Amino acid sequence: MDNMTLIAIASIVTAGLTIALGSIGPALGEGRAVATALSSLAQQPDAATTITRTLFVGLAMIESIAIYCFVVSMILIFANPFWNHVIAQTAEK
Amino acid sequence: MRLSPDEMIFWQHGFLKLNGTIVFTWGLMLVLAVGSKLITRKLSTDLKRSRWENLLEIVVTGIEKQIEDVGLRHPKRYIGFLGTLFLFVALASLCTVIPGYEPPTGSLSTTAALALCVLVAVPFFGIEEQGLGGYLKSYVEPTVIMLPFNIISELSRTLALAVRLFGNMMSWTMILAILLTITPFIFPIVMSALGLLTGMVQAYIFSILAAVYIAAATRGRKSKPEPDAKH
């Protein structure tokens, strides 16, 4: 296998794996966060605004991990420097 | 496949490039500045007021109440900075209903600039409230060993702010573009509505996190009942 094929395979497989594995953790974390928020809302309904706001802030923090994985995966597919380098090399030939 | 509005070039003269990010950012600034100037030309305190003035008052009092809830004691000092952050990011994602428009926050340069503004504003407000010595002392709390960790946490919070906003905005525009090539009509519209919702939530999150960081800096890092949003 030459360089080009190897880089293509590695990029595609890694992009898929990154987003697949990277969304498991945040999804589980967000599920737990929402569950706890709902049970504390049921226990103290008059603290609803504080709980909701804290829930949203916490969810955004957890979500950002999944966003990091997504950004890496997008870079591998669309703005891959190794792929661009190899394409430029074959275009020169 | 376009990764950011940086690549939409409208006009180029050698070194200077007028790309989509700059054009859309200036467009948003124009709308915000001219709009608010026009609406606040004749303010009235009695019951008869124009609809636009009512809208602005709802927005401003809402933001002020949120800032107060976070724990900042004089919201009028901070509402200029925090309110502008919220309005800019919210308007940037709201205008995606206009065809041909790409949100400038979908480019890492814009979000990095906003995060750098927050990075500069936190020590500024902290020193204004506690004095230079008091603010610097908060870095060595609870012990001196925590000094590098506190500095690292400041920098990583800024990075997280920038990448979170960029990732959210960029991913929605990209999902929409990909969906438009696969499924025709209805599904991309539903996804674009979801993208609008996410944009609003991200605007709220950005300004609330900035408010929490400023509250941490102006109150000292000792007793904080609010969510300590350190990464």
Q: Inform me whether the C-beta atom of residue B135 falls under 8 Å from chain A C-beta atoms.
A: no
The 3-state DSSP class for residue B17 equals: strand
Indicate the average pLDDT of chain A.
Answer: 90
State which residue of chain B sits closest to A79, comparing Cα positions. Answer: B3
Average the pLDDT over each of A35-39, A82-86, B3-7, B97-101 and give the range with the smallest value.
Answer: B3-7
Is B226 contained in some domain? no
Determine the residue type at B61. T
Is B224 contained in some domain? no
Query: Which is more confident, B226 or A42?
Result: A42
Look up residue B145 and give its DSSP letter. Answer: G
Contacts of A18 in chain B (CB under 8 A): none
Query: Which is more confident, B147 or B8?
Result: B147
Q: Inform me whether the C-beta atom of residue B200 falls under 8 Å from chain A C-beta atoms.
A: no
Q: Say whether A54 and B227 touch across the interface (CB within 8 A).
A: yes
Domain regions of chain A by residue span:
3-88
The 3-state DSSP class for residue B122 equals: helix
CB B165 within 8 A of CB B111: yes
Handedness of CA A67, A70, A76, A79 (dihedral sign): negative
Asked whether residue A42 carries a pLDDT value surpassing 70, the answer given is yes
Contacts of A74 in chain B (CB under 8 A): 3, 170-171, 174
**CA geometry: angle at B17 spanning B8 and B180, to 5°?**
5
State which residue of chain A sits closest to B68, comparing Cα positions. Answer: A50
Predicted model pTM: 0.83
Minimal Cα–Cα distance from B109 to chain A, Å?
A: 15
pLDDT at B3 (0 to 100): 65
Is B184 contained in some domain? yes
Asked whether residue A82 carries a pLDDT value surpassing 60, the answer given is yes
Minimal Cα–Cα distance from A1 to chain B, Å?
A: 28
State which residue of chain B sits closest to A75, comparing Cα positions. Answer: B3
Region B112-129 average pLDDT: 91
Q: Say whether A68 and B204 touch across the interface (CB within 8 A).
A: no
Asked whether residue B183 carries a pLDDT value surpassing 70, the answer given is yes
Confidence of residue A75 (pLDDT cuts 50, 70, 90): confident
> Can you tell me the ipTM of this complex?
0.73
Q: Inform me whether the C-beta atom of residue B162 falls under 8 Å from chain A C-beta atoms.
A: no
pLDDT tens digits, B38-82: 888 877 777 777 788 888 889 999 999 988 888 888 888 889 899
Is B137 contained in some domain? yes
Measure the CA–CA gap between A91 and A93, rounded to whole angstroms.
6
Nearest by Cα to A16 from A65, A74, A66, A62 = A74
Is B146 contained in some domain? yes
pLDDT at B71 (0 to 100): 81
Confidence of residue B216 (pLDDT cuts 50, 70, 90): confident
Asked whether residue B225 carries a pLDDT value surpassing 50, the answer given is no
Alpha-helical regions (H) of chain B: 20-39, 51-70, 75-94, 108-137, 147-182, 186-219
Length, in residues, of chain B: 231
Domain that residue B121 falls in: 5-219
pLDDT at A9 (0 to 100): 94
Domains held by chain B: number: 1
CB B53 within 8 A of CB B43: yes
Strand partners, B12: B17
Ramachandran class of B14: left when φ > 0, alpha when ψ lies in -120 to 50, beta otherwise: left
Question: For A3-88, which CATH superfamily applies?
Answer: F1F0 ATP synthase subunit C (1.20.20.10)
